[in-house]
Amino acid sequence: MRASRPGGPGVAAGEVAESLANRLRKNVKTLGAWARREGITCWRVYDADMPEYAVAVDRYRDEDTSEEWAVVQEYEAPKTVDPAKARARLADAVATVAAGLALPPERVVLKLRRRRHGREQHEKLGSAGELHRVAEGGSRSS
């Protein structure tokens, strides 16, 4: 059966998720070679290239443990999009990122990017307290 989410009428939801997985694998293959050559352990794998998935995906490798992580940042859906569909699409994206990057789901971190106004934009939202050392070029940071 074909679903109308997320690719529109006549496109199966699994086909769109597979397209995202393919894009992730392709970008890892091409950009990953560049990152290794340059000594970069944190880089953007995907940046909302497909309208069905308005997320940015960054890949990190911890310099101390060599563990790989992904950070999925969702660009908040416009108010015209059904919130239930947006949540389902985000869940698809997170599962696809974990599978497409061959990462355990617990190593995929989710962040929501949304517009903030007034004093709200300067408030601290929280801190998990976990630090991971990464390298970019000759620089290292935690």
pLDDT digits (tens, 9 = 90+) for 1-51: 333 334 443 344 567 788 899 999 999 999 989 888 888 888 999 998 888
- Give the CATH number, domain containing residue 64: 3.30.750.80
Q: Which amino acid is at 136?
A: E
Output 17 or 118, whichever has higher pLDDT.
17
- In-domain check, residue 91: yes
- In-domain check, residue 2: no
Residue 134 pLDDT more than 80? no
- Looking at residue 11, its pLDDT comes to 40
- In-domain check, residue 123: no
pLDDT digits (tens, 9 = 90+) for 57-104: 999 888 788 889 999 998 887 788 888 988 888 888 999 999 989 999
C-alpha 69/C-alpha 59 separation (Å) is 6
Number of domains in the chain: 1
**Please, is 136 exposed, middle or buried when counting C-beta atoms within 10 Å of its C-beta (0-12, 13-18, 19+)?**
middle
The residues that bridge with 43 in the sheet, in sequence order, are: 59
C-alpha 90/C-alpha 73 separation (Å) is 10
- In-domain check, residue 1: no
